[in-house]
Structure 1
């Protein structure tokens, strides 16, 4: 989520946020999960063992988020929320 937020802030483009979500959660998050899982479960697996399941989950979640954000943009709610956040800064 951090990478996603930073990508959107730097570029202002939702596609950059979607791509960084996939990279951040699907790849980096999966690789960071490896040592925790190895310690808690006591099993040694390949470093990239969790990447495929994390990627599948992240791709589905990102697709759903893109659809919902698209609906919010078309309804004008996304612009309203952006204005509210900008007013508080």
Structure 2
């Protein structure tokens, strides 16, 4: 398990994820927190075919296996979650 602090800053997330992939040669990333942080690295990770496992966000863009087959979201999407709370 390797962990780097991105200070909840998307540019720092990109820097740290590149370090994990290119320097540490990780097999996958696990539960990066936040929509902006996950969005910042989604194309990069999918381009490298590095699984982005359990992305901690409910944004619908992370449930798009046609365009991002290496991304698996953790949270229910925000629309579904809102419906659950409303019921």
Return the TM-score normalized by structure 1: 0.25
> Counting strand residues as a fraction of each chain, which structure ranks higher?
2
> Counting helix residues as a fraction of each chain, which structure ranks higher?
1
